[in-house]
Amino acid sequence: MRKQIRLIVGLWLAWTIVGLFYITQDSVPRLYRGQAVAWKYVFVGWMVGVYVCAVLTPAVLWLGNKWPVERRVTNAGYHLGFSVVFSILASTMEVPVLLLLGVFPASHQPTLVAGIKLFLSFGIQGGVIRYWAVIALQAVYRSQKNAKIREREAFELRVQASELAKQLATAQLGALKMQLQPHFLFNTLGAIMVLIQQEKAAQAGAMVAGLGDLLRLTLEDVEAQEIPLWREVEFLRLYLSIEQMRFEDRLQVRIALPPALSDVLVPHMVLQPIVENAVRHGLCESEEEVTIDVSATSADGSLALIVSDDGPGLLSPRPGHSGIGLTNTRARLARLYGDRARLDVEQARGRGVRVTITLPIRALQSEEGPCD
């Protein structure tokens, strides 16, 4: 109902403006030439004409919707005929109203038929122009409305595509992460089995207890892709405590975590597969004591996680290979950070391997900390 009222008011205002334009165009030249202007006849004559057009406009709009002029050439032909009919009808309706209002001078009062003939003789083209003006404005409005609809549909499609891409990335990240968890669990269970075979029950029991704590931490963050660095280091210390039970004095560990970087977000389990590689290819391939250093530094908005060992290194006659740990970690970094993250493996100075993971620094938004 409100829409219909707004349409009626809009048509009335639009045609009133058109009538005032005609009145101005008719009166100004006369005033400029010093001629008298019969305001009653000019004002009433033009306003009756445009308000008759306003009454007929809904029918014109219906015809415009029925045969959109911009879609087919034949529709333009239809509207050419409709415009002539519109002009004749408007003149036929206008003349009796003007006669009723006494617009014509008493000395030149025409009959109804004579008045219609008079109007059609000099005003038919005006009605045709008004009809086409309405049809043209309707076509412009329809074009803009359709453009907005297509723009909104395109935006909704982009949002849907973005959401699907996000869901796909999340699923892929989850799959990559789930590959790591059974990987280190199987290795740890294998180490426990070795201790049992060696009849080292106390060490095996301690390792099982440590594995339980490790599983608890893993399950607490099972759905998280990123966790604070302090949390990742806590997980790493627990994992290394199990490995130290296994290798006793042959494995030394040094972890240096600056307090200022404790809350920086890192991928969950990003350090464990790197350290596991250092144990497997650094310590297991050596008969000497091996030290694994884990440190974190920051510069220019980037965080560097460095894992190095002093084992045989890449020049070992039995070097390690990338395996699932490095491959999986590189894939996760690419998914999470794109080209803003990288993983570099290089021969350390002297002996061993140095692995550097570079990430953009992103801190926790909440006040969550190590003591929470």
Continuous H helices in 198-315? 201-220, 229-247, 272-277
* Cβ atoms of residues 266 and 298 within 8 Å: no
CA dist 293 and 313 (Å) reads: 14
**Block residue for tokens 């350290």:** 275
CA dist 157 and 179 (Å) reads: 33
Single-letter code of the amino acid located at 226: E
Q: Residues in the chain with pLDDT < 70? A: 105-107, 171-184, 222, 285, 315-323, 364-372
Give the pLDDT score at 315: 59
Q: What are phi and psi of 37, to 5 degrees?
A: -115, 120
Give the pLDDT score at 324: 72
* Cβ atoms of residues 272 and 214 within 8 Å: no
Give the pLDDT score at 184: 66
Stated pTM of the model: 0.53
Give the pLDDT score at 82: 93
Give the pLDDT score at 365: 62
Give the pLDDT score at 106: 66
| Adjacent-strand bridge partners of 347 | 353
